[in-house]
Amino acid sequence: MTGGRSALLALLLLAPPVQARDVAFLPSSEASSEASPDALSLVADPALAIIDAAIAEGRLDAATEVVQRTLPLRPGPELQLRVAELALARGALAEAATAFTDLTTEPSVVAAAQQGLGITRLRQGDLAAARVAIDAALAADAGLMRAWNARGVIADRQRDFATADTAYAHALAIDPGAAPARANQGYSLLLRGRHADAEAALTAALAIDPAMSVAATNLLIARALQGHYRQAFAGSSRAGLANDLNTVGFAAMARGEYAVAEAYFNRALTLNPRFDPVAFANLAYLKAVTEPLGTGVGEDLTR
């Protein structure tokens, strides 16, 4: 991509209507598999296994109840690690960061604590601190799938795609069924303009975990950027159709197909009973980028 088209693609990825994004910022209700303690579940202690399973399934109240019952009986780093994981799963990032940091001096849980700290720092937007913690986790235990997944996200945000490829390959070698790693691999490919490859990876991720809404949005974008507009709406719901129309319209605009974009934006406005500021802003932007061309809507900026 060159010229105006690449500028429009950047807007698609960074601005309204919907951001393509990795799963590191998923709310806890959508990110249970990403937030689950992968290596922690390989423990003999039944209480710890129950807590791990509850966190993995997003049953945070149940996990908290077991922690509260168990903690007075046998406090220790393994249980404190679950307390930190619960804070991370709830999105209490400051609390999680403190809890994980306190555990990084405990030899029995140091690798998992560094992993949790790295993921927490990543969600807080501190890439430098996240990388330090994740690298420490992997140095202590190269079998941590979530740490490799986080390392890939860090590399993507630094546009170090070779490292991202390696990290996701490691994560998926450890757990081929890791939907977040597969989804992040798809997002990484989307960032590079490899839309067909991104579509394949995101489709595979959603086959594992159909509830990953961010992956579903990124799949819609990957299809729309290939001009597969009808296919892009395959997973759309009635409630989310207006947003999806805006997103596909923006992708069409990125491709220079302005008449298609205008049709989708107008359709989004008709579906929304209230004023739709996103669709209105997109139409205004479309007018701004097409009028100077002097050739009408539908002209490709790269021509």
- Return the pLDDT at 30: 37
The pTM (predicted TM-score) of the whole model is: 0.79
pLDDT tens, residue by residue, 268-299: 888 876 666 777 777 777 767 666 543 333 33
Handedness of CA 117, 120, 124, 127 (dihedral sign): positive
Structural domains of the chain, with CATH: 39-143 (1.25.40.10)
Q: Is the pLDDT score of 223 beyond 70?
A: yes
pLDDT at 57: 84
Query: Would you say 154 and 131 are in contact if contact means Cβ atoms under 8 Å apart?
Result: yes
Using one digit for the tens of pLDDT, what is the confidence trace for 153-206? Answer: 999 999 999 999 999 999 999 999 999 999 999 999 999 999 999 999 999 999
Q: Percent of the chain beyond pLDDT 90?
A: 54
CA distances from 210 to 91, 206, 215 (A): 22, 4, 9
Among 14-18, 212-216, 254-258, which is the least confidently predicted range? 14-18
| Res. 40 pLDDT band, cuts 50 70 90 | low
CB atoms within 10 A of CB 91: 16
Question: What are the CB-based long-range contacts (under 8 Å, 24+) for 270-277?
Answer: 271/241, 271/242, 271/245, 272/242, 276/242, 276/246
In the block, residue with structure tokens 């709830």: 90
pLDDT greater at residue 290 or residue 245: 245
